[in-house]
Amino acid sequence: MSDSSGKLKLGALVALVVGSMIGGGIFSLPQNMAASAGVGAVLIGWGITAVGMLTLAFVFQTLANRKPDLDGGVYAYAKAGFGDYMGFSSAWGYWISAWLGNVGYFVLLFSTLGYFFPIFGEGNTPAAIIGASILLWAVHFLVLRGIKEAAFINLVTTVAKVVPLVLFALICLFAFRLDIFTADIWAVGTPELGSVMNQVRNMMLVTVWVFIGIEGASIFSSRAEKRSDVGKATVIGFVTVLLFLVLVNVLSLGIMTQPELAKLQNPSMAAVLEHVVGHWGAVLISVGLIISLLGALLSWVLLCAEIMFAAAKDHTMPEFLRRENANQVPANALWLTNAMVQIFLVITLFSNSTYLSLIYLATSMILVPYLWSAAYAFLLALRSETYEQALAERKKDLIIGGIALLYAIWLLYAGGVKYLLLSALLYAPGAILFAKAKREVGQPIFTNVEKLIFAAVVIGALVAAYGLYDGFLTL
């Protein structure tokens, strides 16, 4: 997959995108979607998501080709377009989203094991948290020893993810019943879901979560054999994953009704297949998911450390995050990441956080980096920067960038005020690291515009803190 110089070929980059996008989300999709929307809203939502996410994939493709000097993907674009604090906030938001996602993975992993061992419950019982903590530090010390995710492990976990998904799709295709699918298209029988617009809004956040990782190839852009492969890998990976997601979601709605699906325990794909073929179906999906989650955990732990390390290398993050151990692993970034995962694992024990509420929070944290990437692509086309000889391309990219930007803004709206405030609470403390990084290079901390942005973040964080204390906001 990679050539003699260690550079990544197209196949390896596609595997990175597909591998980081298919983690645990798809295995819980039938229940997650049914809990927030009926069949009609699900179809509308997927339509909007497909267009919006495809334009985002094109944005990453365009930026990889037009700005080949910018490595590290999401945060580099924010920094180049909107200054140091926005660049820092993108790296910080992406990092938090990635490790929060890992907390969600642990909860889902032990919820799956709970199918075989009831002591783990829904993944947030004391036994599950102890088990998750042991596993977390086992992965941590594995990575510290310099065991970068071997191509072999990656290949095995990717195959293990895809085989049960293909089987699921084939079996459900034959078991699909149109009368179940069309029984209550607009979810009139479940008024608690609200209007169709509300349903679309609520399912959109779940769809974003299952696409996180779409930027995987651009983060490893400096290691690509051919620069143009980064964009190709992003689009190929996106289309493959979209196909799987829509099949899993839509076919489930023809096997069980929306209220039935909404009541399932996750991973809900297991229960759907069990409904069709009996017990072995649930076992197959559960085993596939456990292997898939272990692979995803390993790659996201590495990704968390990589983003902090890359940002520290160009002085966006403090210098201590740039330190590597004898095995060339960014050790400090890794310790900080996994300490945060551990703290949040303990919090899930007391705040009764489910997989879904962690996912919503992780998703709202990544919306800001996505927003700045889309805005930067739009800005380049608007200013004609790098388009001196390509006027036709400029028009096309202006439209694509514009749609991606509107989609990113719509997602912030879909997330709602609650998650915006909670993410402000996680963004605000980052300024301590930003200030430290600025002091190390002897620069003033904020520009005048950045002072205003930071003030808005602090106000949001204070409101959120009071909300959690008073009880009108919950995790």
Residue 474 inside a domain? The answer is no
Residue 381 inside a domain? The answer is yes
C-alpha dihedral sign at 445, 446, 447, 448? negative
Q: Residue 281's pLDDT is what?
A: 94
Q: Residue 458's pLDDT is what?
A: 97
8: β partners: 2, 224
Give pLDDT tens digits for 119-137. Answer: 998 888 999 999 999 999 9
Q: Could you tell me the CATH number of the domain that includes residue 324?
A: 1.20.1740.10
Q: Residue 4's pLDDT is what?
A: 43
- CA torsion 63→368→199→292, rounded to 10°? 70
Best-predicted range by mean pLDDT among 18-27, 233-242, 251-260?
A: 251-260
The structural domain count of the chain equals 1
Average confidence (pLDDT) over 39-61: 93
Residue 398 pLDDT more than 90? yes
Domain coverage including residue 318: 8-414
Residue 151 pLDDT more than 60? no
Residue 251 pLDDT more than 90? yes
**Alpha-carbon span 142 to 16, nearest angstrom:** 20
Average confidence (pLDDT) over 157-168: 85
Q: What is the DSSP string of 334-352?
A: HHHHHHHHHHHHHHHHHH-
Q: Which residues lie closer than 8 Å to 49 by C-beta, 6 or more apart?
A: 204, 207, 208, 211
Average confidence (pLDDT) over 189-218: 85
Q: Residue 135's pLDDT is what?
A: 95
Residue 425 inside a domain? The answer is no
Which residue bears the tokens 């907390």? 103
Residue 450 inside a domain? The answer is no
Residue 65 inside a domain? The answer is yes
Residue 52 inside a domain? The answer is yes
Residue 357 pLDDT more than 50? yes
Residue 468 inside a domain? The answer is no
Tell me the percentage of the chain whose pLDDT exceeds 90. Answer: 55
CA angle 224, 218, 291 (to 5 degrees): 90
Average pLDDT of the chain to the nearest whole number:
88
Using 50, 70 and 90 to split pLDDT, how confident is the model at 8? Answer: confident
Supply the pTM of this predicted model.
0.87
Using 50, 70 and 90 to split pLDDT, how confident is the model at 405? Answer: very high
**How many other β-carbons are positioned within 10 Å of the β-carbon of residue 472?**
10
Residue 364 inside a domain? The answer is yes
Give pLDDT tens digits for 421-445. Answer: 999 999 999 999 999 999 999 999 9
Closest CA to 17 of 303, 372, 301: 303
Alpha carbon 83 to its chain centroid, in Å, reads: 24
Residue 115 pLDDT more than 80? yes
Using 50, 70 and 90 to split pLDDT, how confident is the model at 156? Answer: confident
Closest CA to 102 of 319, 334, 379: 334
Q: What is the length of the chain?
A: 475
Closest CA to 121 of 2, 265, 333: 265
**How many other β-carbons are positioned within 10 Å of the β-carbon of residue 296?**
26
Are 189 and 28 a contacting pair, CB within 8 Å? no
Backbone angles phi, psi at 8, to 5 degrees: -85, 130
